[in-house]
Structure 1
Amino acid sequence: MKKIKYVKDYFKYLKNPISALIFKFGFKKECEIKLKKSNEMVKLREIASLNRLMYLLTIAKSEKHAQLLEYIKELDTNEKIVIINDINYINVHNTDFKEKHPVNYEICIEEFFSDDEWDMLTLNNRDIIDIGANVGDTALHFAKNGANVIAFEPVKHLYELGLENISLNPDLKDKIKFINKAVGGKKGKLNIETVSTDAYINSTDHYEIDVITVQDILNDYAFPADVLKMDCEGCEFEIILNEDLTMFNEIIFEHHSKIAGKDYKPLIEKLKKEGFKINTYPVAASKQDFDDIGIIHAFK
């Protein structure tokens, strides 16, 4: 059934599905891909680029198709830098990053095409704590829109790639402090398996990282309590349920109930008790139900 749906997607999104499928199965060396709902087109040489495009078309907003095709073109021509929403990123498909780190990291920056996850925030002149900063994509987005950001990413290879991405945007880097630490409900150490090919084989490659609290951020870095953003694969439960967050004006986070094996509803109840109003939003890129993953925006 998946294979049937896969082929149907070519007919759903493309003006020339047969030509694209012939290219996909290796019978053409290149193909000009034309989208049904626009006049946009892109000439591709790499089948991997077509595969990437077809996946993203299933989640992308139609008004962002032009930017999506420009991004796919940059991937296909092996540009060293790709541009999404006027922000520069390392093209990991043109490095050895993907070979050493097979996790699909780039979906975090590609969510721009499918979700406007943080657009409910007013960003200009805001002070944002970014927990789970990944490769710096959210920190760069916040800074681009006028915010000052202190961002935390515990996974070393993502943190290092984040530093590179920030360096590619010299007009924004002075607005971002990027830190290789985890944030949780209490101080301690976190043991992290290195995401590498070897780790997948023998699971022996690991390291420890410092864990600090939200209160530590406010105290140790003298950072204002304004906006708290979390996308940290489950740490939101520990932070929200164990810390007093009443000093913040807004809190926005992805809940990862499926990953954490916990119900997100107690998070909403706790935030309501602390004086916050709540809005919720789906995450289109995940293709999952809100009960499994979703955006929760708490505001006063």
Structure 2
Amino acid sequence: MIKNLKSKYLWTKLIFKATKDPLSALSVLLFRLGLKDKCKCAFKYLGNIELDKNDIEREYFDYLILACSQKLSKVGINNLKAFLNQRNNKIIEINGIRFLNSVVYSIYETFVEEQYRVRKAKDDETVIDIGGNIGDTALYFASKGYKVYAFEPIPEVYKLALKNINLNKNLADRIKFINKAVSSSEGEIKISYDGLEMSGGASAYTNGEKKIRVKSTTIEKIIDEYNVKPYLLKMDCEGCEYEIIKNSDLSMFKEIIFEYHRYENFENPKILIDKLRNQGFKVKSHKKLAEIHFLGPIVEVGIVHMVKNSQ
């Protein structure tokens, strides 16, 4: 009951931040509570938007509220409009990159919130992408000119990523997508996985009903096996960022962007920042993500972008 009340409170607060006026907020709230079948209201950045129950079921409503309740760049606003305008299409195209209309939160995070925003690549710089999910970040980095080695451990998610990459023939040759987890040691690990739509929550550090065994490699092995000259390390791996950062020398990278997940039994993410500072990095940005994510076993989620002191 407490979590349910907290959830309602958080959604109410976000709805009032996302809408242009109190009447719109009230109408959206009634719609979200199931007291209205449809809703046409004024949102920040977008003006009037018409919504129906399908938008709640497919989670477009959630991401509309999250987006309009925070500060977005001009690029993010344009991508939000494209994201919503195509929500009934089989294929979504944003910034010239095409995706199957599935697992939409990944598209939202990468192209609307711009969680992994980077400059264009110079001299064919390379990204190691840990937590490749549906291929959204790999395609984003490739569109910026980077060579990408992406790792996704869940076979079902990996197969969807390959489909998305194949929709973008102009970028596919810049991406090597590998069906493995990355940790601090080689071998196998067990990951909790609750289905494709919840793939972003697949983790070796939670106790889901379904667990699958996957192969695991290390950053050192990746660099050696693929002869990678590392530039950027991106991590979104639902807890493995602790294991990797605490047990690895990452000083060969120039930039590191990681999403941290502070579960109830996890240490403060400050230890990860301090470890990387000791390896010659400084914080470029640190953003805590929308508090609606804090329900359940995760008490804090954030994105940290660190760069070498010389940059």
Fold-level similarity (TM above 0.5): yes
Shift of 1:140: 0.7
Secondary structure of residue in 2 paired with 1:266: helix
Shift of 1:168: 1.4
Shift of 1:171: 1.0
User: Which of these residues, 257, 270, 283, is aligned with residue 252 of structure 1?
Assistant: 257
Q: 2:130 corresponds to which residue?
A: 131
Native 8 Å contact 2:79 2:112 kept in 1: no
Secondary structure of residue in 1 paired with 2:93: strand
- CA distance in structure 1 between the partners assigned to 2:247 and 2:27 by the alignment: 56
Native 8 Å contact 1:252 1:296 kept in 2: yes
Provide, for residues 215-259 of structure 1, a one-character-per-residue CA deviation record: whole Å limited to 9, x for no partner.
100111112222211111121222122222222222221222336
Amino-acid identity (%) = 34
- CA distance in structure 2 between the partners assigned to 1:36 and 1:228 by the alignment: 34
Q: Which moved more, 1:282-291 or 1:223-232?
A: 282-291
Q: 1:100 corresponds to which residue?
A: none
Q: 1:96 corresponds to which residue?
A: none
- Structure 1 unaligned regions, length at least 5: 93-104
Question: Residue type matched to 2:258 in 1?
Answer: F
Structure number with higher strand proportion: 2
Change in 2 beyond 3 A, CA 1:258/1:85 = farther
Q: 1:171 corresponds to which residue?
A: 170
Secondary structure of residue in 2 paired with 1:282: strand
- Structure 2 unaligned regions, length at least 5: 197-206
Provide, for residues 188-241 of structure 1, a one-character-per-residue CA deviation record: whole Å limited to 9, x for no partner.
2111244249xxxx9674432111111100111112222211111121222122
Q: Which moved more, 1:248-257 or 1:146-155?
A: 248-257
Shift of 1:295: 1.3
- CA distance in structure 2 between the partners assigned to 1:207 and 1:242 by the alignment: 24
Change in 2 beyond 3 A, CA 1:196/1:162 = same
Of the two, which has the highest radius of gyration?
A: 1
- CA distance in structure 2 between the partners assigned to 1:233 and 1:242 by the alignment: 17
Q: TM-score, normalised by structure 1?
A: 0.77
Q: Which moved more, 1:282-291 or 1:112-121?
A: 282-291
Q: 1:192 corresponds to which residue?
A: 191
Check if 1:273 corresponds to 2:284. no
Question: Residue type matched to 1:256 in 2?
Answer: H
Native 8 Å contact 2:128 2:233 kept in 1: yes
Q: 1:80 corresponds to which residue?
A: 90
Question: What's the RMSD between the two structures over aligned residues?
Answer: 3.5
- CA distance in structure 1 between the partners assigned to 2:208 and 2:105 by the alignment: 24
Change in 2 beyond 3 A, CA 1:260/1:298 = farther
